């Protein structure tokens, strides 16, 4: 049997890009999965492709600590993946309070519920590379301080510090992930570069680049991210010495925004010219992650390069957006 067979798992944020793929993998490997879902998102693969059909879905909010304690207790949950967050940077800038509520209060409610649930053996909390802030263009390593300033970035830095606080103070088996930009089929946040570009191309419209195209970012294909989360959760349950430890995950091949769009155009065999608006400002010109710790301590490495990942992503959107629900 696979190590996850009959293992009781809770996933928050399961209707998101990573959450959906994580639930799909866990169920395929025999886990008993419970998802706390706040909103019904019919186009999310978790629901539209029935990935969650064998899972238990609980309607509720991660800020509801009593609900979380009930779910953890009644489900005899052993492993928790906390992915739920308000994850759109623009929304955070316009409405920081809802972002802080979901990302900060939601994290402490989840951690406190886990502290009161003795069956829990591993908790993986999603931070972000954005929590690092400005380090002068150096690739981020886990020992760098968190210098976040913008609302979304600060909310992830707070969640990160809360997780480390609970590990240190209460010996909670928590690990933290700091990842680059995820991409893959099923991302419904159209303001993000990859899904927004693909949707435009499928509609025959020119893709839009809000910046000048020069910012450099790390990208990580969603199934490589799933591997990373599973590797960390497995190690957390086995090795108390890594409790409270943070791990960077990325492909370690940072690329310009313009390069991502050009790759997408090539994959889609499109000759449409992108519209470069040069309106977005305030973001850092360079963000990249050093993943040495994850490679050496977790024996993790990404398996899907950017070209292959983008090809898989484009195929998903062509299948689902061109002819499925919500088609243009």
Q: Domain of 245? A: 8-188+218-252+286-305
Is 328 within the bounds of a domain? no
Q: What are phi and psi of 108, to 5 degrees?
A: -70, -30
Is 20 within the bounds of a domain? yes
Q: How far apart are CA 15 and CA 55, in angstroms?
A: 13
CATH number of the domain within which 292 lies: 3.40.50.720
Pick the catalytic residue from 132, 140, 152, 166. Answer: 152
Is 27 within the bounds of a domain? yes
Is 38 within the bounds of a domain? yes
Going residue by residue through the chain (328 aa), what tens digit of pLDDT does each one get?
A: 678 999 999 999 999 999 999 999 999 999 999 999 999 988 898 888 888 889 999 999 999 999 999 999 999 999 999 999 999 998 999 999 999 999 999 999 999 999 999 999 999 999 999 999 999 999 999 999 999 999 999 999 999 999 999 999 999 999 999 999 999 999 999 999 999 999 999 999 999 999 999 999 999 999 999 999 999 999 999 999 999 999 999 999 999 999 999 999 999 999 999 999 988 766 899 999 999 999 999 999 999 999 999 999 999 999 988 654 444 4
Is 278 within the bounds of a domain? no
Is 323 within the bounds of a domain? no
Is 111 within the bounds of a domain? yes
Q: Give the pLDDT confidence score for residue 51 in this predicted structure.
A: 83
Q: Give the pLDDT confidence score for residue 82 in this predicted structure.
A: 98
Edge-to-edge strand order for the sheet containing 32-37? 56-59, 32-37, 8-12, 79-82, 122-126, 174-179, 245-249
Q: Give the pLDDT confidence score for residue 322 in this predicted structure.
A: 67
Is 313 within the bounds of a domain? no
Q: Is 219 annotated in the active site?
A: no
Q: Give the pLDDT confidence score for residue 323 in this predicted structure.
A: 56
- Residue identified by tokens 């992930």 is 177
Q: Give the pLDDT confidence score for residue 52 in this predicted structure.
A: 80
Total number of domains constituting the chain: 1
């Amino acid at each position: 049997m696979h190590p996850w067979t009959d293992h009781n798992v809770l996933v928050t944020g399961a209707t998101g890009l990573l959450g959906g793929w994580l639930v799909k993998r866990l169920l395929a490997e025999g886990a008993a999965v419970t998802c706390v879902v706040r909103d019904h998102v019919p186009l999310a693969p978790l629901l539209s492709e029935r990935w969650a059909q064998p899972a238990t879905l609980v309607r509720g909010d991660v800020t509801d600590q009593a609900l979380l304690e009930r779910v953890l207790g009644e489900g005899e949950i052993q492993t928790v993946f906390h992915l739920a967050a308000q994850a759109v940077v623009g929304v955070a800038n316009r409405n920081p309070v809802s972002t802080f509520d979901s990302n900060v209060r939601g994290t402490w409610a989840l951690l406190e519920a886990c502290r009161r649930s003795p069956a829990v053996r591993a908790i993986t909390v999603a931070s972000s590379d954005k929590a690092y802030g400005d380090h002068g263009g150096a690739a981020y390593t886990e020992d760098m301080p968190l210098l976040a300033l913008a609302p979304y970035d600060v909310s992830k830095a707070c969640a990160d510090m809360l997780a480390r606080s609970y590990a240190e103070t209460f010996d909670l088996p928590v690990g933290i992930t700091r990842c680059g930009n995820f991409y893959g089929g099923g991302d419904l946040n159209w303001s993000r570069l990859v899904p927004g570009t693909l949707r435009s191309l499928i509609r025959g419209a020119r893709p839009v680049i809000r910046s000048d195209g020069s910012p450099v970012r790390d990208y990580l294909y969603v199934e490589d991210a799933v591997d990373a989360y599973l590797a960390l959760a497995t190690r957390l349950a086995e090795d108390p010495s890594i409790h409270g430890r943070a791990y960077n995950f990325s492909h370690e091949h940072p690329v310009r925004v313009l390069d991502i769009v050009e790759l997408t155009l090539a994959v889609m065999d499109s000759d449409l010219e992108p519209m470069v608006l040069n309106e977005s400002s305030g973001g850092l010109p360079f963000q990249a992650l050093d993943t040495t710790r994850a490679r050496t301590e977790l024996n993790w490495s990404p398996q899907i390069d950017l070209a292959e990942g983008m090809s898989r992503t484009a195929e998903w959107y062509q299948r689902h957006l061109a002819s499925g629900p919500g088609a243009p």
